[in-house]
Amino acid sequence: MPADPRRTAAIADVRRAYRLLWAYQRQILDTIKIIEGAFPNHGFEWWNNRLYNLPTRGRNPARHWAWDLLPFYNISAFYLPAGPAPRVPAPEQWMLQIRIISDDAYESYEGKGERDARGFADAAGSRSSLALLGWKCTGQYDGPWIDGLWNHAEYPDGDGKASVQSDPPVSVVRKTFDIADLGTREEVERAVEAFKGVLRRELGLIVP
């Protein structure tokens, strides 16, 4: 019995979607490379993906959420300042975070359990964003950058204004851009310069 032509067409759309996803992730990786190059005094340390929990070969993938196998949905890359002890925060040093949120409809969905994308807000009205964050250590801190200071601090509520915190001693600022506005090297470089301006104004950091 031949397959339902509607199902056959739908599966072909899935193949197209995978190819489109590859192109999107390739663009994100290229964008990250450009941003990295603008901060030569910071080195890559670690990355995480809030939704990516790929099961190991000994674990049954059918027992996982489908979201666990979707890379680049909500990822962050972290860059520490150069120095003899880069993993240990020192006053006046700062950490760079690049955060990608591919679909903010996931964040606003109010269902329980595994979030069902069929109930998300319309994709055309949702947002895909890249945020640059600066985390400045403002006092003595007994712990590492990521597992300590970053893990216990709060994200700022808004964009472009520093969140000053005492426990842990950190000031953090964020500048967010639509990914659709970062399609060329020149656009990415302008975004980086805008972020450096925010670092200078809000955190007192002079970044060449």
* pLDDT computed for residue 51 by the predictor: 59
Domain ranges of the chain: 28-203
Cβ contacts of 169 within 8 Å, gap of 6 or more:
91, 137, 138, 139, 140, 141
Phi-psi region of 129 (alpha: psi -120 to 50; beta: other; left: phi over 0): beta
Q: How far is CA 164 from the centre of its chain?
A: 21
* pLDDT computed for residue 52 by the predictor: 56
Confidence of residue 171 (pLDDT cuts 50, 70, 90): very high
Q: Is residue 110 pLDDT above 90, yes or no? A: no
Distance in angstroms (rounded) separating the CA atoms of residues 142 and 95: 16
Largest CA distance in the chain: 72
pLDDT tens digit string along 129-156?
999 999 999 999 999 999 999 999 999 9
Confidence of residue 1 (pLDDT cuts 50, 70, 90): low
What mean pLDDT is reported for the chain? 90
Q: Is residue 116 pLDDT above 70, yes or no? A: yes
pLDDT tens digit string along 94-105?
999 999 999 988
* pLDDT computed for residue 107 by the predictor: 77
Q: Residues of 40-49 as b/e, b for ≥16 C-beta within 10 angstroms?
A: eebeebeeeb
Cβ contacts of 192 within 8 Å, gap of 6 or more:
34, 35, 38, 132
